[in-house]
Chain A
């Protein structure tokens, strides 16, 4: 013993734990990658911009050949003649068969806005399997071909099949009074017309078999304003 206190035993330095730092760096790296990917993804797809004058000047097609040279006047004249010939003469009817609306128009001016019932779009199969009916209102441009006051309705085959009744033996037994209201405007597509209805509570819904059903007061206006030849646009 030399009288001195014993030296403490030398301890090895505590090993620094590396994994928290490694984890932090990995997370940071992943975050940077994710941010880059997000920015790249945000910039991928479609780039939208306003329709500026510059865009338009680049995108307008050159004038049609008809409008260049000496024939221009003739081309314009013939185009205007076509448009004038096709334009409806006087008031015309526009029918929106989805919204169940009828508009009586004079040019862009709406004279009558009526709630109507257009075709139900339903399907009826003849039990014999030979025939099938789709009750759509036809689409296109038509004309009023005929006008009838107190019209009679001649029930077609589908009416008997739908109601499960036998076909009448005589053709005259098919006619029914009052079903079409006070007036009917026959269109130049066979079997279709604009007429009145007993089912006024169903106006505004698609319930007809293809005809356009109109309420009494609106039908009276149409009767007054729509002579034979009136154009009818159905879409």
Chain B
């Protein structure tokens, strides 16, 4: 029998090992990164929806409904759908450290999430009028100094969070070009923040919903965000 050189055997073993590790690594990465298409969620009965909606409708304030099946956030008032913000993608996240997921889902569907806050907070860069400066005032024939639009006064980040007490969070990622003013966002900083939360160095979101929204809808949601609104999460 021909003797196989020792060195060849070692090379062969290493090659096979490396080749086997590649699909394993890809599978591990894919399991953490991919957002597969969510399957339909069981709908609530109209009776249950009516009972849930009535107190919010009667509050006299704007509130939001997060409709999981439709993948959208809807601004509502008095039980009326005022504006729909459609999402392209929706996924649910839990903190994890070195591929080990921490925490578990609590009963968050069919409940109200209150006192929502934007992160980063909404800032309107207001213009101060100089009294008596006639040259800036418009006339029916002359535009004068045209004031900036709300889109130009309200910078929007490409990714923002809606935070709720009880460490729940909705992360809104904007896809596409934002019209108007943008708030610069460092992706590295977001990653680092998530990394520290995953490790447990910083307080993590117990539950994070990630919505991918087209830039127009996402910016509109941010700019018209109501103060401390309630979110009704329904299937």
Taking beta carbons and an 8 Å cutoff, which residues of A are in contact with B?
A: 39-53, 55-64, 66-67, 72, 75-76, 78-80, 82-83, 86-88, 92, 94, 96-100, 108, 118, 120-125, 127, 134, 139-141, 161-164, 198-199, 201-202, 205-207, 231, 233, 235
Contact = CB atoms under 8 A, between A and B. Distances in A.
Given A163-B134, A198-B140, A235-B75, A62 B105 contact: no
A206 B147 contact: yes
Contacts of A42: 29, 32
B37 interface: yes
Interface of B: 25, 28-29, 32-33, 35-42, 47-48, 50-54, 57-58, 60-62, 68, 75, 77-83, 90-101, 105-111, 124, 126-129, 131-134, 137-138, 140, 143, 146-151, 153-154, 191, 194-195, 197-199, 205, 208, 210, 220, 223-224, 226, 235
A95 B105 CA distance: 38
Count chain B CB atoms within 10 A of each CB in A55, A79, A87 and give the residue with the most. A79
B101 A79 contact: no
Nearest to B193: A45
Given A50-B38, A51-B41, A123-B126, A43 B96 contact: yes
B93 A79 contact: no
Given A40-B98, A86-B78, A235-B82, A161 B54 contact: no
Contacts of B100: 43
Contact of B62 (A57, A205, A235): A235
Query: What 7 A-B pairs come out closest when comparing CB atoms?
Result: A164-B132, A43-B99, A79-B54, A45-B194, A46-B93, A50-B38, A51-B38
A48 B75 CA distance: 26
Given A42-B29, A51-B68, A134 B126 contact: yes
Tell me if A's interface is mostly helix, strand, loop or mixed: mixed
B42 to A, nearest CB: 6
Contact of B143 (A48, A83, A108, A202): A202
Contact of A76 (B51, B77, B147): B51
Given A46-B94, A60-B110, A206-B147, 4 more contacts: A88-B78, A121-B126, A163-B134, A235-B226
Given A51-B68, A51-B91, A124-B129, A233 B80 contact: yes
B233 to A, nearest CB: 9
B137 A163 contact: yes
A98 B150 contact: yes
Contacts of B132: 162-164
Contacts of A141: 60, 77-78
A79 B53 contact: yes
Contacts of B105: 55, 58-59
Contacts of B47: 67, 72, 76
Nearest to B136: A162
Given A123-B128, A233-B80, A48 B51 contact: no
Nearest to A58: B105
Contacts of A87: 78-80
B191 to A, nearest CB: 7
B112 to A, nearest CB: 10
A207 B137 contact: no
Given A83-B50, A161-B131, A202-B146, A51 B126 contact: no
B48 A64 contact: yes
Contacts of B50: 76, 79-80, 83
B57 A82 contact: yes
Contacts of B83: 94, 96, 235
25 contacts: A43-B96, A45-B195, A46-B94, A46-B194, A46-B198, A46-B208, A48-B33, A48-B210, A56-B42, A64-B51, A66-B51, A86-B79, A98-B220, A100-B149, A120-B147, A122-B127, A125-B128, A140-B60, A161-B131, A162-B129, A163-B134, A199-B140, A206-B148, A233-B82, A235-B83
